[in-house]
Structure 1
């Protein structure tokens, strides 16, 4: 299985592979030792080698090295809905894992690397245009399960989010400021488990890290979140990755893809504390 990764910032070869592909450190070491990695078409076995913005890295990965393959929940001539595993970037990893003989496959939205669950991909330009427009018009309802530290009131929560590109972190404010974008997140308590709560979360807007940053701002960070979470509780419950699943998608008001309207797609994944 061949992957192509474009470098967006200076880093090492090992770090680039680790942050973009669902591979263990041991598997990355083996691929480097076997000279299965190329930078700009030239083989390189040095994991500490520098790669800079614009570099293309190619790597051949045996399927046995992939910890978990994505599953296809639904597919027709226009759309594919997949269930994304943990530690898998949408691009290039998920798309490459799913592409096979499909001539065109492009994700219409994103999930964080360590967020699992449903993601929608288009199989042609027409579908891509309609689905991305549906997201802009809020005609694609996305629901999540989130296991959080503490609790938050049921209802619609409005705030403002700033994406700090340099620090790769999002900052939330209760008031509008220059550079901040409005975020709206709806929450519903499903179950209280001591100091933890299982929430259903609906994204009204869809900003980078919105659920994770917004819930942390509201005093209920997602368990296992190493960026916005509670380190003490993460260690107590031995969670290294955010306990967040994109579990349900509902389409509405589509035109060319009207056969999908009001259809509900659900992931089989469950959060286990």
Structure 2
């Protein structure tokens, strides 16, 4: 028999949704069968699965260890959060320290982090480290959470940056925090500023166009007029500094579409240095050979919250910034001759 107690991050969830996270490999038919047979109970009573959990509710699973391990996706020797090449305790502690050094802001519900270039926001089929893994590892190593807490609640980022784009990621580390951040991102009330190093001539202003994405190639194309399957994009650009033959530009995302800044700049006759998809391959090789720059020079620099009420009113109007990566400082301090 396994026994669990619902915490604050499970409160308000439907019971069947909770069970689906706890036993993520189990078919729904199995869960409902176990509920009908009282092999799964809520506060010692038969349940249907439609109940809303409250903090302190006791969940009991009268299942064999083998069945539990099978359906929660865990073997006898595995932990609930570790990949096989991330088992080493010293490695996890090192990664937690690295993560802590890049924290921009943290409270009991929220954590804002300066993501380095080259790190995935969400895990994929590879074994590469992601923001999700690093965040959860930090929360475990710092004692904020226990392994069992992460079976039914998954702290993580709500805004996804491309692997090769660095900058601020907004993470919810409680259910309340995740719901709040997801809402503000969804309703587009956050002001998001990106900076990029570009080549080419760019006039300041607010530009509109239409973007269409090819899902198979993960490539977007820009057109001046609406086409079938296209969505409007609006981006405001400002120039911050001349860096020799290159320019440091600021992009204010009015809309938020895939690859919007990169593709919009390319459409306007500019390119972001180091951009392998929409940039200039000859120029990319040149700056890699000359400066050792391997990633696209696009950085999510800041977010500003709108006026807020109730629980998160303390964030009203506040701006949080992520320091620029070293590659930007290299070109700003040692710009090539025009």
TM-score scaled by structure 1?
0.74
**1:76 counterpart = 2:110:** no
Q: Tell me the distance in 1 between the aligned counterparts of 2:320 and 2:185.
A: 16
Q: Deviations 1:100-154 (Å, cap 9, x if unpaired)?
A: 2245412111111011111101122332233222223221111111001113111
1:89/1:112 contact within 8 Å kept: yes
In the alignment, what sits opposite 2:41?
none
Which structure has the larger Rg? 2
1:226/1:240 contact within 8 Å kept: no
Report the Cα offset of residue 41 of structure 1: 8.0
Task: Give the 3 Å change call, closer, same or farther, for CA 251–142 of structure 1 in structure 2.
Answer: same
Which runs of 5 or more residues in structure 1 are unaligned? 1-39, 43-56
**1:60 counterpart = 2:60:** no
1:130/1:254 contact within 8 Å kept: no
Task: Give the 3 Å change call, closer, same or farther, for CA 69–225 of structure 1 in structure 2.
Answer: farther
Kindly report which structure 2 residues correspond to 1:33-44, keeping only aligned pairs within 5 A, or say none. none
In the alignment, what sits opposite 1:53?
none
In the alignment, what sits opposite 1:4?
none
1:190/1:198 contact within 8 Å kept: yes
1:123 aligned to which of 155, 165, 173: 173
In the alignment, what sits opposite 1:175?
225
In the alignment, what sits opposite 1:96?
133
2:116 aligned to which of 85, 100, 103: 85
1:83/1:267 contact within 8 Å kept: yes
Q: Tell me the distance in 2 between the aligned counterparts of 1:130 and 1:69.
A: 27
**1:251 counterpart = 2:305:** yes
Higher normalized contact order (CA 8 Å, seq sep 6+, divided by chain length):
1
Q: Tell me the distance in 2 between the aligned counterparts of 1:113 and 1:205.
A: 20
Structure (1/2) with the larger helix percentage: 2
**1:204 counterpart = 2:204:** no
Q: Tell me the distance in 2 between the aligned counterparts of 1:207 and 1:146.
A: 17
Q: CA RMSD in A?
A: 2.3
In the alignment, what sits opposite 1:187?
237
The DSSP-based 3-state class of the residue aligned with 2:84 is strand
Structure (1/2) with the larger strand percentage: 1
Q: Tell me the distance in 1 between the aligned counterparts of 2:215 and 2:98.
A: 30
1:141/1:250 contact within 8 Å kept: yes
Q: Deviations 1:11-53 (Å, cap 9, x if unpaired)?
A: xxxxxxxxxxxxxxxxxxxxxxxxxxxxx989xxxxxxxxxxx
Q: Tell me the distance in 1 between the aligned counterparts of 2:200 and 2:84.
A: 43
